[in-house]
Structure 1
Amino acid sequence: VEAEELGGATTHSEISGVTDYKAEDDEEALDMVRSIVDHQGPVERFGYVRKESRETAYPSEELYGLYPSQGNEQYDMREILARIVDADSWTEYKEGYGRTVLTGYARIDGWNVGVVANQRAVVRNKTSHDSQGEIQVGGVIYSDAADKAARFILNCNQKEIPIIFFQDVTGFMVGKRAEHGGIIKDGAKMVNAVANSTVPKLTVVVGNSYGAGNYAMCGRAYDPRLVLAWPTAKIAVMGGTQASKVLKQIKVRQLEKQGKELSEEDEQELLSEIQERYKEQTTPYYAAARLWVDVLIDPVNTRDWLSRGLDVVDHNPKLERFNPGVIQT
């Protein structure tokens, strides 16, 4: 029995009646889908708020000159956002608190959205009125930033507003001071809010996306509706320098157990080999090939892609009830 005769298109569209439509090729099939959708009846809608679109405050082409050639250099994420969101639409939430994460309301092509973005500039977080504040490294999530982000995400779910995440994160802060400050508690609170969020989430990987920071900033594991990546994106468990040193140590220990000793030159050669391999595995092309991201985009087109994504999620018929459970404060 031939495959076509047993279960082909003609069999199931003309004989068994299993399928409803038969197309000669992809183009005809897409035309059929458009026609079917065009004739659907009324559906319940979110009714996400969309007002008349406004151009960005600055040309999007300027994005090329804003992101540093070296991914570990400082820059102000607000400058990136100003070339993506509608002019005069940015309303920042808790601007002076938890400054390594930016949160705020904005519009993208008229769509009302919440924004959670990593701030890569070095900032100071005031601990009292008369202090200059603690220096905080950009791209790192501190306790206060995690607390702020969690509160903001909860607010967006209460208001039923889609959330856009802009990732350039190396992870959560570590060390004695961070542990004493409750980074585990506050980090878990942020991850809880993201994981249980029911409003549509869209993610843009601008730069680094490492380890637990990837989860907290709505990486693939937490079901964003759309994941966009710039050519500058790097997605991995940890940064290349740290990871390659750890992998080298593991390899050296394995060889030592086998009775083999490496000279300094051999160890350096092994480290270089691991670094090169790890570098290849952190590229956005490697991530896209494994469906960790949906689309690699030109940064200039970020606004257009987000607008399309928001237009799509606007057709989702309903939201599940938001239930984050017990959040430790």
Structure 2
Amino acid sequence: MTVFRSRISPASAEFAANRADMLALVDRLRALEARAAAASEKRRARFEERGQLTPRERVARLLDPGAPFLELFSLCNYMVEDPDPETSIPGGSMIAGIGFVSGVRCMVLADDSGINAGAVTPKSVDKALRVLDIAMRQKLPLVHLVESAGANLMNYEVELWAHGGAMFCKLARLSAAGIPTITVLHGPSTAGGAYQPGLSDYVIGVRRNGMAALAGAALVRAATGESATDAELGGVDMHASVSGLVEYVAEDDAEGLAMARELMARLDWNRRCAAPRPSFAEPLHDPDEIAGLVPVDYRKPYDMRELAARLVDGSDFMDFKPRFGASTVCLQAAIHGVEVGIIGNNGPIDPQGAAKAAQFIQLCDQADAPLIFLSNTTGYIVGVESERAGMIKHGSKMIQAVSNARVPKITLYVGASFGAGNYGMCGLGYDPDFLFAWPNARTGVMGGAQAAGAMDLVARAGLRRRGLEPDEDRLAAQRAAIQAHFERQEDAFYTSGRMLDMGVIDPRDSRKVLAFALQTCREARARRLRPNAFGVARM
């Protein structure tokens, strides 16, 4: 064993300052998440009037009590439709995540009909598509709790319609892959949304409130002149007895969710997954200390090994080539009994570090060991010496290895993640299985100060070519504007609103999140499916 001996003192002033700064960001995260819940809760009286559970109550009733639930894309749409950080509501009118239903690890997607009646936005579509992709990749049964007003025709955009069709395509492919999909029809599902139950393998309809139709009563009257009620067009009783769209009828939301739980249990999904949970030891160093050991300012260095010691089993790891490319840290360790390779940054990635990381990635791929990327780098190092040492060549090796590794890849943005360094550390474009950010994370092409400085030099060079003297006040204003523009977009809350990760997490939860993601990937790799040429067709 190679147990790491920490040099961090939780009693130090620096630790206390780091912790206060980090927890302030965590508080901001929780406040944003609570903003969406509060907005939905305002409609509670309406739900109760209809005899319904609220969307969050539905999710809670569906999931196994006390079991973990990994929420995904909780900040989706933040500062997108409404750019004001003080009023923008995150979530995209949907609740999504991976949790356990009757002991089965499932993907759960719930329309948050307490917010704009669950009306679909462009980011709602993006969120749903990403959720369906994860369900396919990780072989997760999908349970969709449906109640949505569909697209907001007052804010119609043709792109929303065009991309929205992919949801139905992906549902069909899940079924064809042998991954079951279950819909609980809690409320309306009209127009294109009617194909959500139509393309599910099983539909549970809630009497009185559940409704699915290609057009509601108002649209039918406008289009054909025919007068009909919503119940006649698409009520649960009609679909259960006439159209055959609904397999099971529930009297209310609670019974519908109980039926979904019973159905999941009867599928006996876990029998085709030989992935027992391995034994493991907890870290010797408390993960709670992460909030104090990591500065929120990425320009302040810290040893990535200190972080790893609070993530891995027994705080025990092997340090791969520690004296070669020393600013790139490669560790062999285990998390909840799963052997992994960890790559982290103690600064920019130099040619030696890139070559070391490329070799380490290939070795992990050979050993079938999942890769964990702890991204905190300003990028690949630049300059004459670096270029002559082959930075492009060695950086390309690392990117080649990341791109083609076949093992599960899980990325945490734990500080800076700029430029091509983000690419080498398995950023969004490199298709990690899971990607989460800490609230202090900063991502983008480069830092705001660097961008402002670079553009300042360009402006001064242009003035010199024209024989003009620089206006220092004007250039200073330009630098400030550029820096502010870049820094606004590199903020973790801003980027997560645009779904450039799967969510912002409390750094102290990193070990739990990594363990959950690793076990999800492990189950997926071990699970045997029974695919069809086509999805299951309704009869």
Q: Provide TM-score, normalisation by structure 2.
A: 0.49
Note the C-alpha offset of 1:315.
1.8
Note the C-alpha offset of 1:19.
6.3
Note the C-alpha offset of 1:179.
1.9
Work out whether residues 244 and 275 of structure 1, in 8 Å CA contact, stay in contact via their aligned partners in 2: yes
Q: Which amino acid aligns with 1:267?
A: L
Specify which of 49, 53, 56 is matched with residue 280 of structure 2.
53
Note the C-alpha offset of 1:295.
1.6
What is aligned with 1:147? 355
Residue 312 to residue 254, structure 1, CA distance change in 2 (3 Å): farther
Supply the distance in 1 between the matched residues of 2:474 and 2:257 (Cα, whole angstroms): 57
Q: Which amino acid aligns with 1:54?
A: A
1:219-278 per-position Cα deviation (integer Å, ceiling 9, x unaligned): 0111111111111100010111111234567789999xxxxx984223222322222222
Matched, 1:301 2:530: no
What is aligned with 1:77? 304
Supply the distance in 1 between the matched residues of 2:294 and 2:340 (Cα, whole angstroms): 23
Work out whether residues 105 and 115 of structure 1, in 8 Å CA contact, stay in contact via their aligned partners in 2: yes
SS state at 1:75 partner? coil
5+ residue gaps, structure 1, are: 120-138, 256-260, 320-329
Residue 253 to residue 36, structure 1, CA distance change in 2 (3 Å): farther
What is aligned with 1:158? 366
Supply the distance in 2 between the matched residues of 1:25 and 1:317 (Cα, whole angstroms): 37
Matched, 1:43 2:43: no
Work out whether residues 447 and 486 of structure 2, in 8 Å CA contact, stay in contact via their aligned partners in 1: no
User: Which structure: larger Rg?
Assistant: 2
Work out whether residues 115 and 165 of structure 1, in 8 Å CA contact, stay in contact via their aligned partners in 2: yes
Note the C-alpha offset of 1:52.
1.6
Residue 314 to residue 14, structure 1, CA distance change in 2 (3 Å): farther
Note the C-alpha offset of 1:15.
4.2
Specify which of 186, 191, 210 is matched with residue 418 of structure 2.
210
1:97-147 per-position Cα deviation (integer Å, ceiling 9, x unaligned): 22111112111122221111112xxxxxxxxxxxxxxxxxxx211111111
Which stretch shows the higher mean deviation, 233-242 or 79-88? 79-88
1:192-245 per-position Cα deviation (integer Å, ceiling 9, x unaligned): 010111111100111000010001000011111111111110001011111123
Matched, 1:109 2:336: yes
1:273-315 per-position Cα deviation (integer Å, ceiling 9, x unaligned): 2222221111000110011111211111110111111121112
Supply the distance in 1 between the matched residues of 2:452 and 2:251 (Cα, whole angstroms): 51
Residue 153 to residue 246, structure 1, CA distance change in 2 (3 Å): same
Work out whether residues 43 and 317 of structure 1, in 8 Å CA contact, stay in contact via their aligned partners in 2: no
Supply the distance in 2 between the matched residues of 1:245 and 1:202 (Cα, whole angstroms): 33
What does 1:83-122 correspond to in 2, within 5 Å? 83-119=310-346
5+ residue gaps, structure 2, are: 1-189, 192-211, 216-233, 464-468, 528-539
Specify which of 210, 215, 219 is matched with residue 427 of structure 2.
219
Work out whether residues 309 and 316 of structure 2, in 8 Å CA contact, stay in contact via their aligned partners in 1: no
Work out whether residues 350 and 380 of structure 2, in 8 Å CA contact, stay in contact via their aligned partners in 1: yes
SS state at 2:314 partner? coil
Size of the alignment, in residue pairs? 294
SS state at 1:172 partner? coil
The two structures, once aligned, show a CA RMSD in angstroms of: 3.3
SS state at 2:374 partner? strand
SS state at 1:314 partner? helix
Supply the distance in 2 between the matched residues of 1:218 and 1:110 (Cα, whole angstroms): 23
Q: Which amino acid aligns with 1:63?
A: I
Q: Which amino acid aligns with 2:507?
A: P
What is aligned with 2:295? 68
Supply the distance in 1 between the matched residues of 2:302 and 2:361 (Cα, whole angstroms): 24
Work out whether residues 248 and 274 of structure 1, in 8 Å CA contact, stay in contact via their aligned partners in 2: no
What does 1:240-319 correspond to in 2, within 5 Å? 240-247=448-455, 263-317=471-525
Q: Provide TM-score, normalisation by structure 1.
A: 0.78
Note the C-alpha offset of 1:177.
1.7
Residue 252 to residue 97, structure 1, CA distance change in 2 (3 Å): closer
Residue 240 to residue 196, structure 1, CA distance change in 2 (3 Å): same
Note the C-alpha offset of 1:95.
2.0
Supply the distance in 2 between the matched residues of 1:118 and 1:35 (Cα, whole angstroms): 47
Supply the distance in 1 between the matched residues of 2:348 and 2:472 (Cα, whole angstroms): 34
Structure with greater proportional helix content: 2
Work out whether residues 209 and 236 of structure 1, in 8 Å CA contact, stay in contact via their aligned partners in 2: yes
